[in-house]
Structure 1
Amino acid sequence: MKLGIMQPYFFPYFGHFALIAAVDEWIVFDVTQYTPKTWMNRNRILHPKQGWQYLNVPLTNSSISIRTHEARVLDPTGAQASILGKLTAFRRHAPFHARVSELVRAAFAGAADDSLCALNVSSLRTVCDYLGVPFSYRICSQLGLEFPEQMEAGDWAPFVCNALGATGYVNPAGGRTLFDPDAFARIGVALEFADVAEFAYDPAPFRYEPHLSIVDVLLWNAPERVAAALRSNLTLEAA
């Protein structure tokens, strides 16, 4: 079983889904300290005039004093309305505007409760279903794992892999310096790093901006094209 382990991000970028497509099971890593103003409660799409703009999910308790799984959405209905309102600027030009708007509605409707984690998991599940990408996942805070009190950033992944009996682990290439390959070798886990090539597209008459939310990608591209690129743009390299 090859694992991917990431924090629960809100409609993350293309590379996040390429990583999901490369593993057998996804661990939603929601047990660490919550960090405000990150990709967990916001992401970016094009701005109709220039550059990009945020899609935000306001929280009732955005604070470093809570764990990620404790974060709660302030007003799901209002957040959804705000996001759909920003998408209307592209209604006349984006060929998949209607379908993406339905994805947003489905993500909010599919959240099990008012937690940010539930919303973000629903956004991942909804997009994966739309793209035909298998998404088998478990939520870390629900696994009953007993973590050591003191852990460095590079300790979490081998601990979870060992606890769940994984045989492989894939991490974005940007995290190479975090991990000791020997720590994985000692527990019989094959460590790989994923490089994901940029997925560029033409959002005419607007100007393309790289590394935006999957929401922006899907506004302008057929799901079949995106699904194929998740695999063709990904390169795995052993540690």
Structure 2
Amino acid sequence: MRVTIHQPEHLPWLGLLAKVAASELWIVLDSVPYRKNYVQNRNRVLLDGRPTWLTVPVSAPLGTPIHEVRICEVPHWRRRYRGRLAQALAATPGATRIGPVLELLDAAPPGGRLADLNLGLAAWLLGQFDVKVPRVRASALRVAGTRSELLVNLCREVGADEYLSGPSGREYLNLPAFAEQGIAVRFFDFDHPAYDQGDAPFVPRLSAVDAWARLEAPELPPLLSRYRLSPA
């Protein structure tokens, strides 16, 4: 079984959707410390031709595991978030279909868990791209370890014999640790597709909600097929 292990990003980009689609199981890495100023509580959309952040305020003291990070109810943040998203999608076909995203946002309770919101949004996006891959949270597996040791132990816990890593894994993975457990490692390199974003120059690595809003449903799954798998 091929697994990928990745943190629960907020409104993830096409590359994460594609890596999940290329796997048989997504282990949601929510047991490691929250990373500030990353894409765990925010992502970008295109607003007036410029990448603009949509941000969920959180309370996350240093070292807080991702699955324990709470949404911080800063005044008016939901209104600002909704307003920016509506503006960004105003001229797209998806403008009238964004209701499910807003419902998930509004349903997140004050003080609720960020990971729950992120995974709800990720599940919705994966469904729009016709991806049907099961997932399990690392926090539910209760596996110990750090760095490559943790990844190997997670793979062993679910019976994986192949681990699909992002390209940065070439720099930090302890490949012999995987080999000792009979787990093959492959690296996933995503070739970001360009699609029509209007008159402005194309901006890659936005939230996948941008592509979803601009394209028709049959055009979405092929966007996730542009990748290369390389053996370690």
TM-based fold match above 0.5 = yes
Q: Does 1:234 align with 2:227?
A: yes
Deviation at 1:83, TM superposition (A): 2.7
> How many angstroms apart in 2 are the aligned matches of 1:76 and 1:202?
35
* Contact kept? 2:152, 2:177, Cα under 8 Å: yes
SS at match of 1:33: coil
Give the alignment's Cα RMSD to 1 decimal. 2.2
Match of 2:206 in 1: 212
User: Could you tell me the percent identity over the aligned residues?
Assistant: 26
Deviation at 1:106, TM superposition (A): 4.4
Unaligned runs of 5+ in 2: none
Match of 2:185 in 1: 191
Match of 1:119 in 2: 117
Letter in 1 for 2:228: T
Unaligned runs of 5+ in 1: none
- Relative to 1, partners in 2 of residues 1:92 and 1:110: Cα closer, same or farther, differing over 3 Å? closer
> How many angstroms apart in 2 are the aligned matches of 1:58 and 1:52?
19
Deviation at 1:168, TM superposition (A): 1.0
SS at match of 2:67: helix
Letter in 1 for 2:36: P
Match of 1:32 in 2: 32
* Contact kept? 2:128, 2:217, Cα under 8 Å: yes
Deviation at 1:6, TM superposition (A): 0.6
Paired residues for 1:81-100 under 5 Å: 81-99=79-97
Q: Report the TM-score when normalising by structure 2.
A: 0.90
Match of 2:43 in 1: 43
1:48-85 deviations in whole A, cap 9, x for unaligned?
Answer: 1x4211000011x1322311111011239955433321
Letter in 2 for 1:212: L
Q: Does 1:167 align with 2:161?
A: yes
> How many angstroms apart in 1 are the aligned matches of 2:9 and 2:51?
18
Match of 2:54 in 1: 55
> How many angstroms apart in 2 are the aligned matches of 1:78 and 1:215?
22
- Relative to 1, partners in 2 of residues 1:238 and 1:117: Cα closer, same or farther, differing over 3 Å? same
1:87-123 deviations in whole A, cap 9, x for unaligned?
Answer: 3324552122222x22412433676981011111111
- Relative to 1, partners in 2 of residues 1:76 and 1:108: Cα closer, same or farther, differing over 3 Å? farther
* Contact kept? 1:44, 1:212, Cα under 8 Å: yes
* Contact kept? 1:107, 1:126, Cα under 8 Å: no
Between 1:18-27 and 1:124-133, the stretch displaced more is 124-133
> How many angstroms apart in 2 are the aligned matches of 1:33 and 1:180?
20
Q: Report the TM-score when normalising by structure 1.
A: 0.88
> How many angstroms apart in 2 are the aligned matches of 1:182 and 1:163?
18
Deviation at 1:125, TM superposition (A): 0.6
